[in-house]
Each structure stands twice: as structure tokens, then as C-alpha cells.
């Protein structure tokens, strides 16, 4: 989308868009900062512990699927290029 099309689209959504376009770069940055702060205040602010817990749940969860771990290991061993005996742990 080019800048003219974007400007026209925003003009229909933001009543004072054309006045905002006339602002200096510094004033635009200040408006962006104020809008960003208003959004941050509107959302739930998460603590680092909450973010860590969320990341662990999202990235380190248990396997969900039809195959068992043993079936997956068997498939991997069957598809190996080398037909040597797989190493057994434990």
C-alpha cells in the first residue's frame, strides 16, 4: 500500500489525520509515545514472572499427538541412513 492510499484510509478513520500530518517529526514522536502509553495502560501489565511462566507453557509443553514417544523413536530409527544398531540409553 502506498503512502497516499494509507493516508486516505487513515483520514477516514482518524478525524484530525490531516492536522497530524502537518506536525513536526518531534511532535509526531510525542503523539506516538502518548498513544503507546495509553495502550499500555489499557492492557494488563504482566510481571516478568508471568511472562516467564507464559513462555515456558507456550514453548516447553508436553507433546500432543496421536503417536506415542516409542512410535516416534521407531520412525526416526527406521528412516536413518545408517542401518547400524541405535544407541540405547538406560
In this predicted model, what pLDDT tens digit does every residue of 46-62 receive, in sequence order? 777 887 888 887 777 66
The Cα angle at residue 62 between residues 61 and 68, in degrees rounded to 5: 160
pLDDT mean over 16-27: 84
CA torsion sign for 38, 41, 43, 49 is positive
Kindly state whether residue 29 falls inside one of the protein's structural domains.
yes
Q: What is the spatial distance between Cα 89 and Cα 86, in angstroms, rounded to a whole number?
A: 10
pLDDT at res. 9: 76
Q: How confident is the model at residue 22 (pLDDT cuts 50, 70, 90)?
A: confident
Q: Is 11 a member of any domain?
A: no
Measured CA to CA, the distance from residue 10 to residue 34 in angstroms comes to: 18
Q: Classify residue 56: in a domain, yes or no.
A: no
| Predicted local distance difference test score (pLDDT) of residue 82 | 66
* Domain assignment present for 41: yes
Confidence grade of residue 34 (pLDDT, cut at 50, 70, 90): confident
Q: Which helix (H) or strand (E) holds 50?
A: helix 48-59
* Count: domains in the chain: 1
Q: Tell me the residue range of the domain where 32 lies.
A: 22-47
Amino acid at each position: 500500500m502506498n503512502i497516499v492510499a494509507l493516508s486516505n484510509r487513515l483520514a477516514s478513520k482518524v478525524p484530525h489525520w490531516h492536522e497530524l500530518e502537518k506536525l513536526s517529526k518531534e511532535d509526531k514522536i510525542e503523539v506516538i509515545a502518548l498513544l503507546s502509553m495509553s495502550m499500555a495502560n489499557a492492557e494488563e501489565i504482566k510481571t516478568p514472572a508471568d511472562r516467564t511462566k507464559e513462555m515456558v507453557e507456550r514453548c516447553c509443553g508436553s507433546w500432543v499427538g496421536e503417536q506415542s514417544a516409542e512410535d516416534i523413536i521407531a520412525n526416526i530409527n527406521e528412516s536413518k541412513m545408517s542401518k547400524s544398531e541405535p544407541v540405547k540409553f538406560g
